[in-house]
Amino acid sequence: KAGVTQTPRYLIKTRGQQVTLSCSPISGHRSVSWYQQTPGQGLQFLFEYFSETQRNKGNFPGRFSGRQFSNSRSEMNVSTLELGDSALYLCASSPVGGGGTGELFFGEGSRLTVL
């Protein structure tokens, strides 16, 4: 079974630009979560989608948005990039959806550098 796939793996943007990151979950997983990882801050929760609906949201500004498609693939978008947005963005899928918690399966991340 293929794991979680994130694209692109690396990207460089300049301040003020926007970026879209993509995540393909493990086949059959309907829940997709996004996290921002920076040194010293650990994994900061961005949002979680289940069946195309945003179910949970972390404490990030509105510049950070996401969506999920009917095939469970997900995208996140960051508009008006700031230097502080430089980070590793991790996507995780989970087989648990309608209720209850379970293991998250992480991709290898998309490393964003903002210059």
Partner 1 sequence: GENVEQHPSTLSVQEGDSAVIKCTYSDSASNYFPWYKQELGKGPQLIIDIRSNVGEKKDQRIAVTLNKTAKHFSLHITETQPEDSAVYFCAASLWNNDMRFGAGTRLTVKP
Residue 21 sits in the site that holds partner 1 (CB under 8 A): no
CB atoms near residue 79 (< 10 Å): 14
Number of residues that bind partner 1 (CB under 8 A): 31
Residue 94 sits in the site that holds partner 1 (CB under 8 A): yes
Residue 52 sits in the site that holds partner 1 (CB under 8 A): no
- Cβ contacts of 113 within 8 Å, gap of 6 or more: 10, 11, 12, 13, 86
In angstroms, the CA 37 to CA 51 distance is 25
In angstroms, the CA 97 to CA 50 distance is 7
Out of 11, 20, 60, 97, point to the residue binding partner 1 (CB under 8 A).
Answer: 97
In angstroms, the CA 33 to CA 68 distance is 10
Out of 24, 29, 46, 50, point to the residue binding partner 1 (CB under 8 A).
Answer: 50
Q: Which residues bind partner 1 (CB under 8 A)?
A: 4, 31, 33, 35, 40-45, 48, 50, 55-56, 58-59, 90, 92, 94, 96-97, 99-104, 106-109
